[in-house]
């Protein structure tokens, strides 16, 4: 998608209704989270808020949404000072927020989720009325939504629509003349085509007079959807300007130093290289469903094989089968017993949050000397090991003794990568390894995978970010509906790969609407 | 390593909760006309005013310590064993059986330890029934252990009135254990027995085991994040079985030691050391040494409360009330501190 969306430059009367943050400061102990930050949010415009993890974006938005109190500074609306002591108060002033993590009950229907969030009193629940309001809002954004569908059965992109509609209805209910919607990393969990569908809706909201704050660290999206951009770095606004700045310049501003984007010449391993992971005609039935259908994938030493696909098309069973956690119904999987894994959900699958950084970094090797001797642990060795890995992998923590839960998401992921790639593993599986990371941290993780490949490791990369996947993979296979595309595709053919992800066919243009695709992706 | 087991903040929580409850209870008693200072000194004299009184407190702390450790080991390993009560009874009845009916040949230094070990094993086996039900039938442990408590009470009641009944009486009780299978008493005039000392050593051993061994580390990882443990190739199932066996074994040993050290027999009257153990574990914040202190404190609370009843005519049930309040206070304080840790910080992402 190349066309810039229609910009709305209507500013009539907008000046009086602007929300201004003036000199907002916030400290947490010794850490300066925000230092004299000033922003202006205008109705009908989309303001991009760009910054790395830890730059202060979320702190700022939590202040705007009444969840945190600033140490200094003021928030004004059309010149009058606002007191925002709770999200409810923020809502009354027309400030709504869509969080990165959804607050939806999967076992309830769409309309029931809305009722749950918005109907405060105990009175009769008028589902029909709520459904009508929901439909009306959705129609304005050209979204097709079924109020009776169970939220748990919806694709992530559709769940997000429910969250946005919920926030809009909350604003309607609050009845404020002006409406401001904060979108916190709205595309972090979306597939490329879901992103393509979200961005026009954001523009439509702005056209309807909503002031939108779009928080992201994805520069391409900022350029596509925002009118202007403010860049936060270490709690300060370091740049304010049009969203049309070059990517390099914005990245530089955000990170504070030039970042080299990881990419390399695709170079499939020669057929003489030993096969490290081999799935042959792998079929897996689980709960009466065929989740993998005669899948054949090989990964040889010295190559990165990317698995593209909309989430829920068989990626999870494929990984589980390779790791030996799921047995094949027919066909075979050969893989070594020792595989380094960078799992999808680091907090649930890789880290033990209350334990220290040193303990988490030793989780693969605690049974080896010098980490333990005949069953007795040697904590001193754990600390030495942790300090070495933290230094070599740039894991930033005050000390190896702090709980890993206190680290930022990027540092947690770097810790996982440091642990898993420690000792030069021959086989690596990485699932969405840069999810939720900012540009700098993501580049660091991808570069580690490239380095591992260059020294001869076999890497199976499952990634929902197609750009990153294509940037570092040597070959790409596409999973669709539990089936894998015939053979591997050259990484340059992005269009064919996109079509394969959606329809399972590289040729025919998709006939079905976007929502049907979303529903198929549901697992 | 400060975070090796549980953060030091945990002890601040426990002590804060204890102080808060003491203030509330003393205020309540003051309103009823008991001056706080009198109450405190009378309580302390009852709990530790003399060597004998303190020995009584220790005697009371013994079973609480063991069942507290039983609960804590299970909880640390992520296994919700609420069945210490039943495992305690099964251990106790095993001790009675091998002391009075199924006599173990040989001198006391042989038959007593053998009977204690057998009781530990039956306690562990009773607990593992729940693990088996979970593994093969998908029954949640938190449910099956509670239900197995009721079954244990019924089974023990049947044995006490049936094969183990004391033929010389009509009361529902077993015969007394002969001297040679009794645990040696440490302080004259009390029933403070060797088992309490063993319990203290077990607490220290568990502390070291959790803190310093690879198996202890695995137990913690499995308890905190079984998904990650599985992906890292840890023997998750085996560790859960181990934890359940140790937990049930400790409760079984507690029951046997109580019979062999204090009561000498089992009667129909209810005991609730198993449930109290959960309270002790919570109060000690699941830390073996914290539980040592918590058990001692609750032991003193109990003997001190009987002193209050004798001197000031305050019903000794007050001890149970305070115990309940303490657990509530610790859980509330723990919840508050956890919520504070979750509050949006510098950056949420």
- pLDDT score, position A186: 86
What H or E segment, with its residue span, contains residue B115?
helix B108-137
CATH number at residue A450: 3.40.50.300
Packed helices B51-76 and B214-224: angle between N→C axes, nearest 10 degrees: 70
Question: Could you identify the residue written with the tokens 């490290």?
Answer: A276
For the ranges A222-226, B165-169, B290-294, the maximum mean pLDDT occurs at: B290-294
Give the pLDDT mean for B135-154. Answer: 94
- pLDDT score, position A523: 36
Q: A232 and A295 in one domain?
A: no
Contact B346 A355 (CB under 8 A): no
Structure tokens belonging to residue B19: 């102080």
- pLDDT score, position A5: 44
Number of compact structural domains in chain B? 1
Q: What percent of chain A has pLDDT over 70?
A: 87
Which structural domain, as residue segments, surrounds residue B160? 10-341
Interface test with B, best of A57, A337, A359, A387 (most B CBs within 10 A): A359
| Tens digits of residue pLDDT in B181-195 | 899 888 888 889 999
Q: Does B1 fall in a domain? A: no
Number of compact structural domains in chain A? 2
Q: Three-state SS across A385-414?
A: HHHHHHHHHCCCCCCCCCEHHHCCHHHHHH
Q: In whole angstroms, what is the distance from residue B183 CA to residue B262 CA? A: 8
Residues B64/B273, Cβ–Cβ less than 8 Å: yes
Q: Is the pLDDT of residue A170 over 60?
A: yes
Put residue A312 in one of left, alpha, beta given phi > 0 → left and psi -120 to 50 → alpha.
left
Q: In whole angstroms, what is the distance from residue B251 CA to residue B127 CA? A: 9
Q: Is the pLDDT of residue A502 over 80?
A: no
The ipTM (two decimal places) reads 0.84
| Tens digits of residue pLDDT in A34-64 | 889 999 888 999 999 988 766 788 788 888 8
Q: A182 and A89 in one domain?
A: yes
| Tens digits of residue pLDDT in B192-229 | 999 999 999 999 999 999 999 999 999 999 999 999 99
Q: Is the pLDDT of residue B7 over 60?
A: no
* DSSP-derived pairing of the beta strands A340-342 and A427-431: parallel
Q: Is the pLDDT of residue B259 over 90?
A: yes
Q: Is the pLDDT of residue A86 over 80?
A: yes
Contact A377 B213 (CB under 8 A): yes
Q: Does A411 fall in a domain? A: no
Q: Which of A255, A289, A319 is the last residue of a domain?
A: A255
Contacting A with CB below 8 Å, chain B residues are 1-4, 7, 211-215, 217, 220-221, 224-225, 227-228, 230-232, 341, 344-349
CATH number at residue B247: 1.10.3470
- What's the start-to-end Cα distance of chain A, in Å? 28
pLDDT, chain A, mean: 83
Which structural domain, as residue segments, surrounds residue A305? 275-339+425-521
Return the ∠ at Cα A371 (arms to A369 and A376), rounded to 5°: 90
Q: A441 and A474 in one domain?
A: yes
- pLDDT score, position A513: 38
Task: Please state, as a whole number, how many other Cβ atoms lie within 10 Å of the Cβ of residue A140.
Answer: 15
Q: Does B4 fall in a domain? A: no
Q: A430 and A315 in one domain?
A: yes
Q: Does B58 fall in a domain? A: yes
Render the burial of A499-515: b for 16+ CB within 10 Å, e for the rest: bbbbbbebeeeeeeebb
Interface test with A, best of B216, B231, B346 (most A CBs within 10 A): B346
- pLDDT score, position A515: 38
| Tens digits of residue pLDDT in A435-462 | 777 777 888 889 999 999 999 999 999 9
**Residues forming a β-bridge with A274:** none
- pLDDT score, position A59: 84
Sign, Cα dihedral of A298, A299, A300, A306? positive
Task: Please list, in sequence order, all residues whose beta carbon lies within 8 angstroms of the beta carbon of residue A239, skipping any fewer than 6 positions away.
Answer: A229, A230, A231, A245, A250, A253
- Distant-in-sequence contacts of B190-194, Cβ < 8 A, 24+ apart: B190/B52, B190/B55, B190/B56, B190/B59, B191/B59, B191/B261, B191/B262, B192/B55, B192/B56, B192/B58, B192/B59, B192/B62, B193/B59, B193/B62, B193/B257, B193/B260, B193/B261, B193/B262, B194/B261
Q: Does B217 fall in a domain? A: yes
Q: Does B192 fall in a domain? A: yes
DSSP alpha helix (H) spans, B32-83:
36-48, 51-76
Q: A450 and A497 in one domain?
A: yes
What H or E segment, with its residue span, contains residue B309?
helix B288-312
- State the pLDDT confidence band at A520, using cuts at 50, 70 and 90: very low
Taking a contact as any Cβ pair under 8 Å apart, which residues of chain A between 54 and 83 contact chain B? Answer: 54-59, 62, 67-68
Give the pLDDT mean for A188-205. Answer: 83
Give the pLDDT mean for B332-348. Answer: 60
For the ranges A5-19, A20-34, B51-65, the maximum mean pLDDT occurs at: B51-65
Task: Please state, as a whole number, how many other Cβ atoms lie within 10 Å of the Cβ of residue A101.
Answer: 12
- State the pLDDT confidence band at B8, using cuts at 50, 70 and 90: low
Question: Could you identify the residue written with the tokens 């094989």?
Answer: A305
Q: Is the pLDDT of residue B349 over 50?
A: no
Q: Is the pLDDT of residue B169 over 90?
A: no
Q: A324 and A248 in one domain?
A: no
Please tell me whether the peptide bond between A370 and the residue prior to it is cis, using omega within 30 degrees of 0.
Answer: yes
Q: Is the pLDDT of residue A191 over 80?
A: no
- Which of B213, B221, B230 is nearest residue A352 as measured by Cβ atoms? B221
Q: Does B290 fall in a domain? A: yes
Output the CA torsion B264→B270→B273→B279 (10° steps): -170
Q: Does B348 fall in a domain? A: no
Structure tokens belonging to residue A96: 């709504």
Q: A64 and A189 in one domain?
A: yes
- Name which of B263, B329, B267 is nearest B62 in CA terms: B263
Q: Is the pLDDT of residue B86 over 90?
A: yes
Q: Is the pLDDT of residue B44 over 70?
A: yes
Residues A346/A419, Cβ–Cβ less than 8 Å: no
Q: Is the pLDDT of residue B175 over 80?
A: yes
Structure tokens belonging to residue A118: 């918005």
Nearest CA in chain A to B224: A352
Q: Is the pLDDT of residue A244 over 90?
A: no
| Tens digits of residue pLDDT in B109-134 | 889 999 999 999 999 999 999 999 99
Give the pLDDT mean for A249-277. Answer: 75
Q: A335 and A198 in one domain?
A: no
Q: Does B5 fall in a domain? A: no
- pLDDT score, position B243: 97
Q: B349 contacts in A (CB within 8 Å)? A: 53, 57-58, 100, 185, 408-409, 436
- State the pLDDT confidence band at B294, using cuts at 50, 70 and 90: very high
Contact B214 A363 (CB under 8 A): no
Q: Does A314 fall in a domain? A: yes
Q: In whole angstroms, what is the distance from residue A257 CA to residue A53 CA? A: 15
Q: Three-state SS across B199-241?
A: HHHHHHHHHHHHHHEHHHHHHHHHHHCHHHHHHCCCCHHHHHH
Render the burial of A17-55: b for 16+ CB within 10 Å, e for the rest: bbbbbeebbbeeeeebbbbebebbbbbbbbbbbbbbbbb
- State the pLDDT confidence band at A409, using cuts at 50, 70 and 90: confident
Q: A297 and A250 in one domain?
A: no
- State the pLDDT confidence band at A519, using cuts at 50, 70 and 90: very low
Give the pLDDT mean for A282-297. Answer: 87
Q: Is the pLDDT of residue B4 over 60?
A: no
- State the pLDDT confidence band at A311, using cuts at 50, 70 and 90: confident
Task: Please list, in sequence order, all residues whose beta carbon lies within 8 angstroms of the beta carbon of residue A260, skipping any fewer than 6 positions away.
Answer: A443
- Which of B7, B231, B344 is nearest residue A58 as measured by Cβ atoms? B344
Give the pLDDT mean for A461-472. Answer: 85
- pLDDT score, position A493: 66
Query: Who wins on pLDDT, B136 or A492?
Result: B136
- Which of B1, B224, B346 is nearest residue A356 as measured by Cβ atoms? B1
CB pairs under 8 A between A and B: 94
Question: Could you identify the residue written with the tokens 């490239």?
Answer: A450
- pLDDT score, position A8: 45
* DSSP-derived pairing of the beta strands A19-28 and A180-184: unpaired
Q: A194 and A46 in one domain?
A: yes
Query: Who wins on pLDDT, A519 or B254?
Result: B254
Q: A328 and A221 in one domain?
A: no
* DSSP-derived pairing of the beta strands A19-28 and A31-41: antiparallel
Query: Who wins on pLDDT, A173 or A416?
Result: A416
Task: Please list, in sequence order, all residues whose beta carbon lies within 8 angstroms of the beta carbon of residue A416, skipping any fewer than 6 positions away.
Answer: A342, A343, A346, A350, A351
Nearest CA in chain B to A364: B232
- State the pLDDT confidence band at A511, using cuts at 50, 70 and 90: very low
Q: In whole angstroms, what is the distance from residue B130 CA to residue B140 CA? A: 8
| Tens digits of residue pLDDT in A330-354 | 999 988 888 999 998 888 889 999 8
Question: Could you identify the residue written with the tokens 């609750």?
Answer: B298
- State the pLDDT confidence band at A2, using cuts at 50, 70 and 90: very low
Q: Is A376 on the interface with B (CB under 8 A)?
A: yes
Q: A331 and A208 in one domain?
A: no
Q: Is the pLDDT of residue B341 over 50?
A: yes
Q: Does A9 fall in a domain? A: no
């Amino acid at each position: 998608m190349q066309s810039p969306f229609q910009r709305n430059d209507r500013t009539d009367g907008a000046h009086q209704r602007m929300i201004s943050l003036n000199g907002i400061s916030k400290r947490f102990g010794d850490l300066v989270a925000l230092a004299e930050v000033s922003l202006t949010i205008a109705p009908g415009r989309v303001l991009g808020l760009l910054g790395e993890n830890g730059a202060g974006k979320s702190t700022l938005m939590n202040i705007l949404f009444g969840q945190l109190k600033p140490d200094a500074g003021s928030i004004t609306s059309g010149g009058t000072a606002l007191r925002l002591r709770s999200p409810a108060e923020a809502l009354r002033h027309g400030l709504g927020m869509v969080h990165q993590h959804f607050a939806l009950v999967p076992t309830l229907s769409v309309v029931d989720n809305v009722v749950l969030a918005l109907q405060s009193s105990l009175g009769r629940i008028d589902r029909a009325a709520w459904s009508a309001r929901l439909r009306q809002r959705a129609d304005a954004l050209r979204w097709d939504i079924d109020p009776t569908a169970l939220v748990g059965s919806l694709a992530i992109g559709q769940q997000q629509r429910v969250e946005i509609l919920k926030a809009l209805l909350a604003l309607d209910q609050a009845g404020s003349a002006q409406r401001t919607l904060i979108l916190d990393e709205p595309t972090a969990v979306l597939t490329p085509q879901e992103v393509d569908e979200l961005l026009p809706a954001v523009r439509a909201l702005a056209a309807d007079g909503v002031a939108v704050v779009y928080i992201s660290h994805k520069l391409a999206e900022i350029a596509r959807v925002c009118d202007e951009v403010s860049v936060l770095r270490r709690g300060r606004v370091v740049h304010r300007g049009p969203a049309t700045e070059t990517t390099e310049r914005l990245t530089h501003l955000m990170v504070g130093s030039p970042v080299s984007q990881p990419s390399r010449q695709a170079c499939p391993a020669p057929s003489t290289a030993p096969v490290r992971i081999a799935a042959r005609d792998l079929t897996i039935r689980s709960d009466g469903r065929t989740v993998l259908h005669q899948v054949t994938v090989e990964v040889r030493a010295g190559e990165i094989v990317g698995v593209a696909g909309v989430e829920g098309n068989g990626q999870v069973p494929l990984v589980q089968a390779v790791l030996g956690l799921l047995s094949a119904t027919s066909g075979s999987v050969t893989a070594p017993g020792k595989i380094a894994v960078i799992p999808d959900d680091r907090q649930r699958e890789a880290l033990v949050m209350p334990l220290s950084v040193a303990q988490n970094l030793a989780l693969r090797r605690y049974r080896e000397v010098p980490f333990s001797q005949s069953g007795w642990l040697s904590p001193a060795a754990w600390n030495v090991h942790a300090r070495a890995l933290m230094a070599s992998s740039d894991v930033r923590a005050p000390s190896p003794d702090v709980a890993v839960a206190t680290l930022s998401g990027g540092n947690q992921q770097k810790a996982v990568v440091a642990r898993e790639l420690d000792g030069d593993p021959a086989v690596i599986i990485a699932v969405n390894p840069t999810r939720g990371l900012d540009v700098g941290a993501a580049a660091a993780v991808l570069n580690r995978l490239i380095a591992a490949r260059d020294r001869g490791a076999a890497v199976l990369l499952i990634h929902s970010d197609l750009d990153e996947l294509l940037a570092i993979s040597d070959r790409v296979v596409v999973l669709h509906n539990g089936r894998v595309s015939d053979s591997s595709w050259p990484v340059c053919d992005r269009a064919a790969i996109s079509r394969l992800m959606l329809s399972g066919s590289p040729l025919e243009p998709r006939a079905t609407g976007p929502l049907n695709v979303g529903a198929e992706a549901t697992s | 390593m400060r975070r090796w087991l549980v953060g030091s903040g945990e002890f601040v929580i426990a002590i804060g909760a204890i102080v808060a409850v003491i203030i509330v209870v003393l205020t309540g008693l003051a309103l009823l006309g008991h001056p706080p200072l009198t109450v405190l000194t009378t309580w302390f004299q009852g709990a530790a005013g003399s060597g004998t009184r303190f020995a009584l407190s220790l005697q009371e702390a013994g079973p609480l310590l063991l069942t507290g450790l039983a609960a804590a080991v299970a909880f640390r390993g992520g296994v919700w064993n609420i069945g210490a009560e039943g495992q305690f009874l099964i251990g106790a009845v095993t001790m009675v059986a091998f002391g009075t009916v199924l006599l173990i040949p040989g001198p006391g230094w042989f038959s007593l330890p053998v009977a204690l070990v057998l009781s530990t094993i039956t306690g562990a086996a009773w607990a593992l029934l729940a693990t088996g039900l979970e593994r093969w039938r998908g029954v949640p442990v938190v449910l099956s252990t509670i239900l197995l408590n009721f079954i244990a009470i019924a089974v023990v009641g049947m044995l006490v009135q049936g094969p183990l009944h004391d033929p010389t009486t009509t009361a529902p009780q077993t015969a007394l254990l002969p001297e040679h299978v009794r645990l040696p008493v440490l302080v004259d005039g009390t029933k403070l027995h060797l088992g309490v000392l063993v319990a203290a050593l077990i607490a220290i051993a568990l502390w070291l085991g959790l803190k310093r061994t690879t198996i202890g580390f695995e137990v913690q990882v499995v308890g905190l994040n079984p998904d990650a443990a599985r992906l890292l190739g840890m023997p998750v199932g085996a560790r859960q079985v181990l934890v359940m066996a140790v937990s049930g074994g400790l409760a079984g040993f507690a029951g046997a030691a109580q019979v062999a050290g204090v009561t000498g027999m089992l009667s129909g009257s209810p005991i609730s050391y198993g449930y109290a153990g959960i309270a002790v574990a919570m109060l000690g914040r699941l830390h073996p040494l914290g539980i040592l202190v918590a058990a001692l404190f609750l032991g003193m609370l109990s003997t001190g409360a009987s002193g209050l009843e004798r001197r000031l005519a305050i019903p000794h049930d007050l001890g149970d009330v305070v115990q309940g309040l303490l657990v509530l206070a610790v859980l509330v304080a723990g919840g508050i501190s956890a919520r504070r840790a979750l509050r949006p910080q510098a950056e949420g992402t």
